């Protein structure tokens, strides 16, 4: 699915993120499974990840991220009129994470909805927020993306336990009084036949007639996801640029889902984008699913690389299989 060039009347105006204190290093993993720091760094680029405490869940991380957003935004969030929470790892099926966030901040005028588009969830949530604001139905939407992947990771499976980490990010999407349009182009796509990457907590005991393994934990075919993502995202980038009538040189920052550094390198190579113009969170945080893009944006802000007015191409992809890419202007004021 593709949209015409810039019909957007929305922009991102604030960012906040949070990761739990506890760190799980590659050396820690060497003590759990038959792996090595060398293998993990060489195949994934990951050095460490943050892990939630036993009594810390996705809504707690999202609330912390939104608190940090409120600090830098410098104003209350009372007039938020919709909360969209992206997560694959909610505390409960219900009440939803977005309802827990609403309760904490007492946003009395806000609707609340959770969304699960796996690791592409943040990009999907931004797409929805842009659409709701551009239609005139909403004026200020809080998007939170949070994950406690450690709680669904099997720490006896070396092919998955080295990958995942926990964290959350929050952005504010607001109506743009100048109607200049912060969102320039979007692409969405799905390959539902690619269900080779399963987290089994739903009600079904089997999928398409096949019994499922790993109740309550992630099971994946990493190599297949890798190949699909490199092919799909590089083609999506081409389409996004074409739609927006832009060239690679117009892009200040490429922010793909941070699943694996080697995967990011392969996407850049195939899409002909310089790695130096990439923001990622995978090295220090692992794969944090839908939280990985806001965490990478935060890394860009903290290091002074991502600046007000920069053009960002962000791209989420993950289980489903599903993907979403967006071209947008970064409208968050620089911290002085
Ligand atoms: O968030 C989006 C969804 N998920 C992903 O994006 C995951 C994408 N895929 C990946 O990141 C990579 O496929 C992995 C990091 C998961 C695996 O890397 P790979 O280079 O594709 O390795 P592989 O699965 O093909 O396995 C190669 C070998 C195997 O040994 P044999 O059969 O060749 O003897 C594995 O058993 O590496 C072995 N292996 C390990 N060895 C040491 C797998 N995991 C480990 C490990 N340490 N942790």
Peptide bond into 95 cis (omega under 30): yes
Ligand 1 pocket test: pick from 36, 49, 223 the residue with the most ligand atoms within 8 Å of its Cβ: 223
Handedness of CA 176, 257, 216, 19 (dihedral sign): negative
Q: What is the pLDDT of residue 188?
A: 97
Q: What is the pLDDT of residue 327?
A: 97
Helices (H), 162-281: 222-244, 261-271
Q: What is the per-residue pLDDT across 274-294, written as a single tens digit (0 to 9) for each? A: 999 999 999 999 999 999 999
Does 159 sit in the ligand 1 pocket, CB within 6 Å? yes
Q: What is the per-residue pLDDT across 13-51, written as a single tens digit (0 to 9) for each? A: 999 999 999 999 999 999 999 999 999 999 999 999 999
Least Cα distance to 236 among 138, 317, 333, 176 occurs for: 317
Whether the pLDDT of residue 335 is over 60: the answer is yes
Q: What is the per-residue pLDDT across 170-201, written as a single tens digit (0 to 9) for each? A: 999 999 877 666 899 999 999 988 766 666 67
**Catalytic residue chosen out of the listed positions 257, 260, 268, 323:** 257
Q: What is the pLDDT of residue 158?
A: 96
Residue 104 C-alpha to ligand 1 middle, in angstroms? 40
Compute the distance between CA of residue 211 and CA of residue 124 in angstroms, rounded to an integer. Answer: 30
Q: What is the value of pTM for the model shown?
A: 0.96
Asked if 119 is an active-site residue, the reply is yes
Residue 255 C-alpha to ligand 1 middle, in angstroms? 23
Whether the pLDDT of residue 1 is over 60: the answer is no
List CB contacts of 179: < 8 A, sequence separation 6 or more. Answer: 9
């Amino acid at each position: 699915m593709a949209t015409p060039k810039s019909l957007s009347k929305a922009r991102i105006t604030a960012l906040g993120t949070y990761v739990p204190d506890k760190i799980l290093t590659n050396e820690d993993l060497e003590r759990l499974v038959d792996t090595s720091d060398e293998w993990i760094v060489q195949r994934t680029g990951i050095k460490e990840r943050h892990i939630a405490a036993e009594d810390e869940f996705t809504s707690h991380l999202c609330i912390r991220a939104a608190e940090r957003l409120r600090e830098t935004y410098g104003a209350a969030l009372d007039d938020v009129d919709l909360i969209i929470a992206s997560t694959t790892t909610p505390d409960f099926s219900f009440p939803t994470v977005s309802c827990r966030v609403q309760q904490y901040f007492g946003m009395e005028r806000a609707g609340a909805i959770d969304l699960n588009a796996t690791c592409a969830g943040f990009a999907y949530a931004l797409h929805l927020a842009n659409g709701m604001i551009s239609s005139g139905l909403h004026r200020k939407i809080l998007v939170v993306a949070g994950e406690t992947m450690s709680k669904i990771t099997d720490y006896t499976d070396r092919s998955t336990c080295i990958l995942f980490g926990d964290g959350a990010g929050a952005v504010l999407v607001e109506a743009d009084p100048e109607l200049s349009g912060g969102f320039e182009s979007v692409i969405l796509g799905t390959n539902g036949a690619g269900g080779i990457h399963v987290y089994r907590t739903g009600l079904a005991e089997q999928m398409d007639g096949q019994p499922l393994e790993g109740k309550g934990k992630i099971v994946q075919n990493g190599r297949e996801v890798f190949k699909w993502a490199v092919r799909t995202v590089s083609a999506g980038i081409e389409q996004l640029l074409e739609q927006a009538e832009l060239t690679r040189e117009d892009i200040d920052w490429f922010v793909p889902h941070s699943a694996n550094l080697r995967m990011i390198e392969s996407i850049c190579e195939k899409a002909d984008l310089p790695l130096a113009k990439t923001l990622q969170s995978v090295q220090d945080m692992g794969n944090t699913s839908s939280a990985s893009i806001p965490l990478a944006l935060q890394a860009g802000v903290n290091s002074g690389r991502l600046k007000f007015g920069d053009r960002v191409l962000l791209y989420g992809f993950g289980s489903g299989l599903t993907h979403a890419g967006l071209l947008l202007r970064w409208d968050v004021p620089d911290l002085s």
